[in-house]
């Protein structure tokens, strides 16, 4: 039996794995995004569920960048056809602090939870084994389920992609094609009444959707027309009438039953699309002309990309599922800038606070890599070690005018001012058990406080 909610926590020491840490010295790895080097994780969040008889295998992760609270779906394994899901799959969502990397709460939903969206102060979750949309009240932790049915009242199977509409409606897609007997693979739901507002007939499998600024729905579809030999297609759909306004076929090898796996709106009028099977390319689509803008070849040729996110330095990060790594690609040149190693079937990615969070489906962790411009608070020397040399360097800056390359790293209290209190706090932390430096610490990240200080070395 799974533990009750108030019995859910593992011992604090087991929740976060600091991958490069000793009692006083914190060693970290900083890799410039402009250099093609491989980076290992700097930390990992343990996603194992206490008392569970199945592995966690986290599927997706999202982070609220205002509260820096993160959420991950804990799906477990796919049950063999005909076997009960509870023997193989998990049914949890974890909440974690993206600053401290500590797991805070665990919520129960349906088995094999997949996608999530934050909307209206709640967390909305799809689960592959249930024809339901789950709503988690983040104030009290309670959850409820909303039936997903087609226009005849029949259940919609394999719910997947989620999107928020301009009037607060929530769009829910199905990745099941017509296996449930219906081609109504997209619906919109009123978040208050929980009534289905619209049914959209789109034959094929849908894993991701986006509501665009021109008031159309962008819907990537795998095996369109329920034809497993067909190449994936992007549909632009009128959300009011359901009419297909435009379509764009992606030219990929169809022998591996390819399907779109992720969709990321870039913010400059383009979008990125990844393919699960049949293509080692990432496609960039011009949303105004509704045509291909660029095609990025992924080095190594992995034909299964499961996630793509745009980073803060005009690059994107793509997860290469069977290559067990992430790659950072320049959006302009298509150049490979960096790889992130140490993966185990990496799936969904989230970037927040100068950290890259990746669900490792082959393991029971969310890996954490250093993001663009990352630094470690307290590492004034920028030598990857916090020791006595750092407060000495800070004192030398304050009293003798010696230069330090990362002012943010010296702002130990993160009050936006470098003064005598900063080396004093660092000394008391190192030798007297005083308060630790402010975020980012003890794992690298970026300064999230708007102040006049900078860390130019972080972007060299």
Q: What is the pLDDT of residue 413?
A: 96
**CA-CA distances (angstroms) from residue 424 to 280, 408, 419, 447?**
52, 16, 9, 20
> Which of 435, 431, 432 has the alpha carbon at shortest distance from 421?
435
- Flag whether pLDDT at 222 surpasses 70: yes
Q: 31 or 300: which carries more pLDDT confidence?
A: 300
CA distances from 422 to 25, 363, 402 (A): 18, 40, 16
Q: Does residue 47 have a pLDDT over 90?
A: yes
Residues of the chain with CATH 2.130.10.10: 41-370
If pLDDT is split at 50, 70 and 90, which confidence band does 429 have? very high
User: CA triplet 448, 371, 164: central angle to 5 degrees?
Assistant: 75
The pLDDT of residue 56 is above 80 = yes
**Arithmetic mean of pLDDT, 125-144:** 97
- The pLDDT value recorded for residue 15 is 39
- At 5, the pLDDT band (50, 70, 90 cuts) reads very low
Indicate the pTM of the whole model.
Answer: 0.91
Percentage helix, strand, coil for the chain under 3-state DSSP, each rounded to 5: 10, 40, 50
**C-alpha to C-alpha distance for 8 and 17, rounded to whole angstroms:** 18
Q: What number is the average pLDDT over the span 222-250?
A: 96
Quote the DSSP letter at residue 269.
S
Average pLDDT, the chain: 90
Asked whether 406 and 455 are in contact (CB, 8 A), the reply is yes
Angstrom distances, CA of residue 175 to CA of 115, 206, 325: 12, 5, 25
- Dig out the tokens for 372 from the structure: 């663009």
Q: Is the pLDDT of residue 20 over 60?
A: no
Q: Is a pLDDT exceeding 60 seen at residue 18?
A: no
- Predicted confidence (pLDDT) at residue 22 exceeds the cutoff of 90: no
Of 160-169, 230-239, 297-306, the one with minimum mean pLDDT is 297-306
Q: Do the beta carbons of residue 113 and residue 78 sit within 8 Å?
A: no
- Residues 133 and 125: beta-carbon distance below 8 Å: yes
The long-range contacts involving 199-202, CB below 8 angstroms and separated by at least 24 positions, are 199/150, 199/151, 199/242, 200/237, 200/242, 201/242, 202/235, 202/237
Residue with tokens 């939903």: 109
The domain 41-370 is placed in CATH, from the list 3.40.50.1820, 2.102.10.10, 2.130.10.10, 1.10.490.10, at 2.130.10.10
pLDDT the model gives residue 399: 96
pLDDT beyond 50 at 52: yes
Q: Give yes or no for a contact between 109 and 91, defined as CB atoms under 8 angstroms apart.
A: yes
Q: What is the dihedral of CA 179, 183, 185, 187, to 10 degrees?
A: -140
In terms of Cβ atoms closer than 10 Å to its own Cβ (0-12, 13-18, 19+), residue 119 is middle
pLDDT recorded at residue 366: 98
Supply the DSSP symbol for 63.
E
Is a pLDDT exceeding 50 seen at residue 1? no
Check whether 9 has a pLDDT greater than 50. no
> What secondary structure letter does DSSP report for 298?
P
**Residue 49 pLDDT > 70, yes or no?**
yes
Say if residue 32's pLDDT is above 50. no
* Token digits of residue 192: 């208050």
Q: What pLDDT score was predicted for residue 64?
A: 98
Q: What is the mean pLDDT of residues 226-241?
A: 95
For the chain, what is the total number of helices (H) and then of strands (E)? 4, 30
Please report which confidence band the pLDDT of residue 10 belongs to, taking 50, 70 and 90 as the band edges. very low
Edge to edge, the sheet with strand 365-370 lists 16-18, 43-46, 365-370, 355-360, 346-352
């Amino acid at each position: 039996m799974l533990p009750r909610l108030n019995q859910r926590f593992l011992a604090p020491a087991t929740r976060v794995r600091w991958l490069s840490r000793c009692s006083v010295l914190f060693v970290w790895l900083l890799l410039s995004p402009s250099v093609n080097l491989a980076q290992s994780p700097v930390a990992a969040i343990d996603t194992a569920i206490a008392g569970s008889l199945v592995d966690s295998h986290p599927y997706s992760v999202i982070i609220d960048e205002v509260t820096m609270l993160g959420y991950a779906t804990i799906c477990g394994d796919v049950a063999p056809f005909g076997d009960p899901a509870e023997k193989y799959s998990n049914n949890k969502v974890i909440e974690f602090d993206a600053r401290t990397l500590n797991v805070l709460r665990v919520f129960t939903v349906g088995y094999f939870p997949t996608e999530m969206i934050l909307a209206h102060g709640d967390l909305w979750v799809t689960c592959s084994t249930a024809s339901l949309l789950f709503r988690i009240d983040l104030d009290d932790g309670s959850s409820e389920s909303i039936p997903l049915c087609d226009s005849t009242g029949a259940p919609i199977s394999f719910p997947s992609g989620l999107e928020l509409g301009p009037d607060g409606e929530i769009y829910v897609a199905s990745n099941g094609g017509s296996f449930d007997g219906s081609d109504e693979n997209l619906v919109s739901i009123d978040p208050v009444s929980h009534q289905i507002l619209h049914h959209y007939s789109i034959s094929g499998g849908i894993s991701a959707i986006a509501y665009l600024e021109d008031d159309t729905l962008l819907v990537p579809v795998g095996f369109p027309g329920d034809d497993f030999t067909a190449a994936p297609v992007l549909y632009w759909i009128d959300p009011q009438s359901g009419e297909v306004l435009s379509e764009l076929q992606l030219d990929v090898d169809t022998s591996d039953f390819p399907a779109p796996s992720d969709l990321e709106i870039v913010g400059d009028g383009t979008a990125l699309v990844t393919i699960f099977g049949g293509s080692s390319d990432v496609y960039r689509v011009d949303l105004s002309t509704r045509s291909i803008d660029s095609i990025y070849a992924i080095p190594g040729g992995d034909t299964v990309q499961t996630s793509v996110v745009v980073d803060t330095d005009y690059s994107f990060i793509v997860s290469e599922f069977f290559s067990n790594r992430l790659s950072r690609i320049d959006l302009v040149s298509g150049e490979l800038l960096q790889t992130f190693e140490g993966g185990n079937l990496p799936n969904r990615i989230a970037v927040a606070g100068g950290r890259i969070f990746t669900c490792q489906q082959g393991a029971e962790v969310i890996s954490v890599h250093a993001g663009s411009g990352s630094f470690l608070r307290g590492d004034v020397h920028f030598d990857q070690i916090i020791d006595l040399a750092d407060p000495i360097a800070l004192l030398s800056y304050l009293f003798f005018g010696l230069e330090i390359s990362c002012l943010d790293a010296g702002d130990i209290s993160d009050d936006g001012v470098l003064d005598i209190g900063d080396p004093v706090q660092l000394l008391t932390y190192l030798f007297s058990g005083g308060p630790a430096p402010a975020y980012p610490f003890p794992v690298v990240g970026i300064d999230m406080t708007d102040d006049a200080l900078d860390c130019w070395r972080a972007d060299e």
